[in-house]
Amino acid sequence: MSALIVEVVYRGIFQKNLAARICRGIVLSARRSGRWGIAFGRYGDSPQRNGIPAKDFAIVADSVEELEQNMARYEPKHTDITVVLDDTLSKGVESWAWYGLQPINKLTVPNGTVLMTSLQTFDSLLKDIHKKDAPYKLAVIRAKASFSGLWVHKEDHTEVRVLGALAKIAPHFLSLEGVAQAIPEMEWGSDLKVTSARKAHDRLETREVKMTEGNPEVPYAFEMPKWWEMREGVSIPAIPIGKPKEGGQGYVPERNPYFKKYTTRTMRPVIDFDTCVKCNLCWISCPDSVFDVMPDGTFDAAMEACCGCGVCEAVCPVENCITMVNEAVFEDNASQWEMWRRDKAAYKTWLGAKIGDKQATVRSHGFRFRGQYDEELKRDLDAGGTEITAGIPGENAAHKTV
């Protein structure tokens, strides 16, 4: 193989600049050894919606012809390395361009690498990552989902840590020295960031994943219609009206069978049905009509439709009745109401564990108070994490070229 194809999967808009930096860094690092390259975003992801999974790509090759061979596609069909910038993307990605659910490792070639920033254990991640019909490697940089590069937040060196890790995974294309030479030339580069890249290179954790390992769920898919099957006049049928629940009580709306939206979610609402006052506010406020009316008048959140915006938590008048909890601590989209109906005591225990875990209820995307991100970065460091040094946006501005 004489080309390296990397995809960077990220959360739309929040991590857009971060992903672009990584892909530019890959090409410019490989250029250090005379290779050719191209960096591009998946156009179908644009304009980016908050949190929607999106992709950038970098391709480097020994010659222009080999580069063209691999570029001659709308987007790569196979990637040597899949970089994942938020571990909640382990559950798969559904683009807003409507094409079903794609496992996070779908494009990764056999024996390729999925490289992720995460604080979870390998085993915990593999509960979410779908099974693959070939072995591959899972590599982890110990970090939470980064906002590095988003214009209003501080630098946390994630882009260079990823580049350092890539130099460990694909040293023939990206030598550590190439990375170390390329970083200071970026408009966001610095010598300090070179140190971070070297540390990430040395500290990368990697584990082989067997074909038998992973989430056995069959990813949701649908067949796109032929031109003569589609309605004329650029029209689509309305979603049908819904139905009551059992006994004619309650109400469950029909939902779009082609676009489910839940891979946008980084947190999900957890509901205490015992304290619900049936005020309707969550039901009326939800921008995605996620709430189903149950026969007893409480509201269950349909997890396949929820994108995790948190409006329900914000409008709920009862303390701890709706609590947003990090998506990583859940393994399926099962109904909370059904779980509660089956065994109320067991549900109470489950609920208490979920909303009692302060690590999981701290907002992962968006902030509850000013300075929260800085506090979290410091806490990560105090907890023994890799050193993260906040840079000054615009440092190295002398190298601005575009």
Partner 1 sequence: MATVTTKAAPAVGDDKELLISGSEAVAEALALADLDVVTAYPIRPYDTVMQAIAKKIANGQLVAEYIVAEGEHSQFEIVKHASTVGARVFCGSSGVGWMYAMECLVVTPPLRVPMVALVGNRALDDPGAFGVEHNDALVVRDLGWMLCWIDTSQEALDTTLIAYRVAEDRRVFLPLAISADGAFLTHSQALTLVPPKEKVDRFLPRYDRGDLLLHPDNPITVAPQANEDWVIEIRRQNDEAMKRATTVIEEAYADFRRVFGRGPENPWFEEYMLDDAEIVLVGMGTISLPMKVAIREMRSQGQKVGLLRLRWFRPFPTEKLVAAVSKAQAIGVVDRDYSFGSPFNSGVVANEIRAALYNADRRPPLLSFICGLGGREVTLEDVKKATDMCYAAAKAGKAEARTHWLGVRE
Per CB under 8 A, residues contacting partner 1 are 1-2, 4, 23-24, 27-28, 31, 33-41, 43, 46-47, 62-63, 65, 68-69, 71-74, 80, 170, 172-173, 224-228, 234, 400-402
Q: How far is the CB of 187 from partner 1 (least distance, A)?
A: 10
Q: How far is the CB of 24 from partner 1 (least distance, A)?
A: 6
Nearest to 316 by CA among 275, 267, 266, 265: 275
Residue closer to partner 1 by CB (options 28, 271) is 28
**Rounded Cα gap, residues 362 and 323, in angstroms:** 10
E-strand ranges in 186-315 read 205-209, 267-271, 291-293, 299-301
Q: Render the burial of 31-46: b for 16+ CB within 10 Å, e for the rest.
A: ebeebbbebebbeebe
Residue closer to partner 1 by CB (options 46, 206) is 46
Contact between 357 and 325 under an 8 Å Cβ cutoff? The reply is yes
**Rounded Cα gap, residues 53 and 98, in angstroms:** 12
Residue closer to partner 1 by CB (options 34, 257) is 34
Residue closer to partner 1 by CB (options 1, 239) is 1
Q: Render the burial of 384-401: b for 16+ CB within 10 Å, e for the rest.
A: eeeebeebeeeebeeeee
Contact between 282 and 299 under an 8 Å Cβ cutoff? The reply is yes
Q: How far is the CB of 112 from partner 1 (least distance, A)?
A: 9
Give the bridge partners for 9, in sequence order: 55, 84
For 40, the enclosing helix (H) or strand (E) is strand 36-41
Helix axes 158-169, 16-31, angle to 10 degrees: 40
How far are the Cα atoms of 33, 68, 82, 107, 138 from residue 77, in angstroms, in the given order? 26, 14, 12, 6, 19
Question: Which backbone phi and psi does 154 adopt, to 5 degrees?
Answer: -80, 160
Q: How far is the CB of 65 from partner 1 (least distance, A)?
A: 7
Q: How far is the CB of 32 from partner 1 (least distance, A)?
A: 9
Q: How far is the CB of 227 from partner 1 (least distance, A)?
A: 6
Residue closer to partner 1 by CB (options 50, 63) is 63
Q: How far is the CB of 1 from partner 1 (least distance, A)?
A: 5
Residue closer to partner 1 by CB (options 80, 87) is 80
Residue closer to partner 1 by CB (options 62, 376) is 62
